[in-house]
Each structure stands twice: as C-alpha cells, then as structure tokens.
A and B are shown apart, each in its own frame.
Chain A
C-alpha cells in the first residue's frame, strides 16, 4: 500500500488549489492508487495526530511526505494543535520513503521567509539559494533522495503528479542543483513561448495587450532566466503567462520574492542588466545588435496582417 501525507506550514494553499485541477490523471484518479492519509483541506474525519503516532510507531508505512508552505518552529506564527510544523516534520522525517516540497515556500522559504518579525522561516532543505533549510544539507529520506523540490508559486499540478508517478513506478528522478526534477526544470520558461520569433529579432512589446512583441526587453519577463516547463506543459492545458501577454515573474526560482519590480526590465544605459542563461553579456549584446539591424518584416507587422 502506498500512502501520502500532506502537511502545510506557512502557505496560501495555492499549491493545493492547483493540484485539484490535475488532469490525466486527475486528483481523484491519483488517489485511487495512493492512500491519501490526510490533507488539511480535504480530510475532515481523520485524526492527524493518530496518523502521526501510527507512522512514528511503524504501524503505518509512509511512502510520500508532502509539505506545502514554509517551515517555522515559532508557534506564535504557526502551529498544528500543540505542535509547530517543524516538530511534526522532525518526528516524521526518518519514516518517509520520499519527502516532497511543493511550491516555492516549502522549497526555498519564499515570501514568508522575507517576513522581518520572524527570522526562523525556511524551506525544507533550502533558505533561498543556500542549503540552510530546516533539514540538514546532507539529509536524505529512506529511499536515498534529498527533499525533492517542486518549485513554483504555485506548482503546475502535472509537475507534482508526474514526479509522484515516476517515483511510484520506480523510475529514476534526476535532480538539478536545487534538487528539482530535471525532467521538468531543465527547460526554461522561454522554451516554447509563442513570442520567441520576437525575441529572436529583438522586437519589443511597448505596452500590454498585444499578441506581438517580446516581453523580455521592457516588461520584465524572466522567461530566458527561469527554469520551468510552463510553455511545454501548458496551464489548464490551454496557455501560459507569456503566451497570454503577461511577463514570466520567475516564480520557480529561489530569488522570486527578492526581486522588486516584476513588470520592468532592469536596465543600465538602456542595456538589460541580466542576459539569458547560457550567454555572456558580450555575446548577447553582439547578437542583439545584429538582429536589430537585419530587420525581419514579418515581426514588424500585426499578426493578422502577415502573409
């Protein structure tokens, strides 16, 4: 029997909301295969502490311990019954086959870790980019994995479901430097964006609301700097932020809440301060100049007016 226990720390519940939209398999199909021991938004007739005690005493196996939200040991800010979320995770950490952090708060601490009245807010194994989370940097769960981070604010349901299914079917899950599944986070948000033609020819979007133009130059889009498959695994199977004309805000990266203006590209002397991952500023500036000089007529027209 496979089991899953879902716990929440400091969270807006966004990842749960997202997960309820899972398709193929849906939330309910997934939990046909896995016994959902407890979820704070769904379970109403089970005693969480009874479950925790059974797991602690090896009466109940725990395949997946899933945590949504940041961790704090300060009960003034968050507690479940008489316990802090930190105490509960501490009690269960040796019992789970896999521990999965869902969403940027559980991965990196995220927005709650920016709260200046409580310095004890962390992700499970990271605090922003440092491996100084609640669990030690060398921590591994029973099956030999560190905390598997599924970052995002929120996560796409498919990212969670595919990771769970890979583990369930004993497929290897390769992780990147932030312990995120490579299968998902080896892509950049930029990959698959329908505005890529405008990026290639450096055609800027001057104002919101147009299908034409790239959001990277003025509107602060983080697509070429952010690891996510948002334009590969579409949201609601339909679209993505950048396709719809909203800049990527880099919500799968540790520095998401550390940045200030999400709708403006930081520039010095009119030149972007940060350039796409993989190229030096020198190379990027050179190629930009060439692309701007060699005009592509198609990208300078409204889409409806192109041949």
Chain B
C-alpha cells in the first residue's frame, strides 16, 4: 500500500519531534544533522530541503513550541470563564502538552535556556516566543482590568505564572516526581491564583 505523502509542514513536525529528543538527550552541540537525518531515516541531502542549518532548526523548534502553546492559551483567553478558571485551564493545558510532547518542554529547558548563544541572532529576548508571551500579556492585562487580579508590573506576574510550570516539568524531567505533572495541575493553579488575585 502506498504510504501517504506527508506535507512539508507535517514532515517538519516529524523532524522537530526527533531532533528535540536528540538535542535534549545528547546536548545541542553533540547532535549533528546526520544524527537527526539518520534517526528519521532520511538522507542528509533531503534534510536540507526542510532546514538550511542546525541553527535554523533550533530556532524553528522554539517558535513552533511557542505557537502551539499560544494557540491553546488564546482559546482560553477567548472564553468567558472567570480569571481563576482560566488559570486552572492554562495550567492543565501546559501539563497536558508536557506529558503528550515532553520533548518540546525538555528542549525548552535543556537547549533554549541552556545554549543562549545559539539564539543570539533573530531569537534574542522574546522574539521567538513572542506568541506565547503576547497571549500571557493579554491574559494578565484583562484579569487586572476586570479587577480579578492585583495590579502590578508585568514581569513579576509573568514569572509567578510561568515559574511554577517550568519548575515542575524540570523536576519531571529529572524523574524525581512521584506523580505525573498533570496530577499536580490543580494545586499549582490554586497557588498561582492565590498569588495573583486581587
């Protein structure tokens, strides 16, 4: 039976999945394009049809992850739920993604945050994660405007929201958590809510 041809985007997603795992387990510098091509079962020449370089792939992965999470937060932002319920939904969704696609979170923690020099040009600051930061800004701004969240500067609120999520998935990656991340979602969401509420 003829194998259904994957679209270029679908193929890119497949490359991301494999590359993320390799980057996270072997380290960014120890992983070569032949390693990635080999793990997918494609030729090195064909790999270059999708990405011009390892750096371009590295940046694409972080933008892809940011868009994925941003789309989910945007859906939550557009609901009429209370701010507290929205926090619970954001936290649950984050851990859901962390469990379903742990390679993305691993990549974020072990490559994006650890090898900043790779992302110096074109990915500095929030440039490659602007989708998710924008959605969180909208979430926090609307929450404060409605009077449900306490007014403060953006950054303290931002790290209060995202810090526990990153911390927990890091512990998950270190295999020290007795339970799955998702099982901690509601407790962490309650903590974030109590920290940020008006």
Same assembly: yes
Query: In the complex the two chains form, is B141's CB within 8 Å of A268's CB?
Result: yes
Query: In the complex the two chains form, is B157's CB within 8 Å of A282's CB?
Result: no
Interface residues on A, range: 10 to 19
In the bound complex, residues from chain B placing their C-beta under 8 Å from that of A289 are 125-127, 130, 133-134
Query: In the complex the two chains form, is B145's CB within 8 Å of A273's CB?
Result: yes
Across the interface, A271 reaches (CB within 8 A) one of B130, B131, B135, B141, namely B141
Query: In the complex the two chains form, is A282's CB within 8 Å of B134's CB?
Result: yes
Query: In the complex the two chains form, is B144's CB within 8 Å of A268's CB?
Result: yes
Query: In the complex the two chains form, is A293's CB within 8 Å of B125's CB?
Result: yes
Query: In the complex the two chains form, is A281's CB within 8 Å of B138's CB?
Result: yes
Bound complex: CA A268 to CA B196 (Å): 13
Cβ of B152 < 8 Å from any Cβ of A?
yes
With contacts A285-B134, A285-B138, A290-B130 taken as known, whether A271 is within 8 angstroms of B125 at the C-beta atoms is no
In the bound complex, residues from chain A placing their C-beta under 8 Å from that of B131 are 286
Bound complex: CA A280 to CA B138 (Å): 11
Query: In the complex the two chains form, is A281's CB within 8 Å of B124's CB?
Result: no
In the bound complex, residues from chain B placing their C-beta under 8 Å from that of A292 are 125
| CB of A203 to closest CB in B, whole Å | 15
Query: In the complex the two chains form, is B151's CB within 8 Å of A269's CB?
Result: yes
Q: Which 9 A-B pairs have the closest CB atoms?
A: A293-B125, A268-B144, A270-B154, A271-B141, A269-B140, A270-B153, A268-B141, A268-B145, A269-B144
Residue of B nearest to A270 (CB): B154
Across the interface, B152 reaches (CB within 8 A) one of A269, A282, A290, namely A269
With contacts A282-B134, A289-B133 taken as known, whether A269 is within 8 angstroms of B141 at the C-beta atoms is yes
Query: In the complex the two chains form, is A269's CB within 8 Å of B154's CB?
Result: yes
With contacts A289-B133, A293-B124 taken as known, whether A269 is within 8 angstroms of B138 at the C-beta atoms is no
In the bound complex, residues from chain A placing their C-beta under 8 Å from that of B154 are 269-271
Add 7 more A-B contacts to A268-B141, A269-B152, A293-B127 (CB < 8 A).
A269-B154, A271-B140, A271-B154, A273-B141, A285-B134, A289-B126, A293-B125
In the bound complex, residues from chain B placing their C-beta under 8 Å from that of A285 are 134, 137-138
Query: In the complex the two chains form, is B157's CB within 8 Å of A269's CB?
Result: yes
In the bound complex, residues from chain A placing their C-beta under 8 Å from that of B127 are 289-290, 293-294
Query: In the complex the two chains form, is A293's CB within 8 Å of B151's CB?
Result: no
Query: In the complex the two chains form, is A282's CB within 8 Å of B138's CB?
Result: yes
Query: In the complex the two chains form, is A269's CB within 8 Å of B153's CB?
Result: yes
7 pairs from A and B in contact (CB 8 Å cutoff): A268-B143, A269-B152, A271-B154, A282-B135, A289-B127, A293-B127, A294-B127
Bound complex: CA A294 to CA B133 (Å): 16
In the bound complex, residues from chain B placing their C-beta under 8 Å from that of A281 are 138, 141
Residue of A nearest to B146 (CB): A268
In the bound complex, residues from chain B placing their C-beta under 8 Å from that of A290 are 127, 130
In the bound complex, residues from chain A placing their C-beta under 8 Å from that of B152 are 269-270
Cβ of B149 < 8 Å from any Cβ of A?
yes
Residue of B nearest to A271 (CB): B141
Bound complex: CA A290 to CA B157 (Å): 20
Bound complex: CA A77 to CA B137 (Å): 49
Bound complex: CA A289 to CA B154 (Å): 13
Report B144-177 residues with CB < 8 Å from chain A CB: 144-145, 149, 151-155, 157
Residue of B nearest to A266 (CB): B145
In the bound complex, residues from chain B placing their C-beta under 8 Å from that of A273 are 141, 145
In the bound complex, residues from chain B placing their C-beta under 8 Å from that of A294 are 127
In the bound complex, residues from chain A placing their C-beta under 8 Å from that of B124 are 293
Bound complex: CA A270 to CA B150 (Å): 12
Residue of A nearest to B196 (CB): A269
Report B90-148 residues with CB < 8 Å from chain A CB: 124-127, 130-131, 133-135, 137-138, 140-145
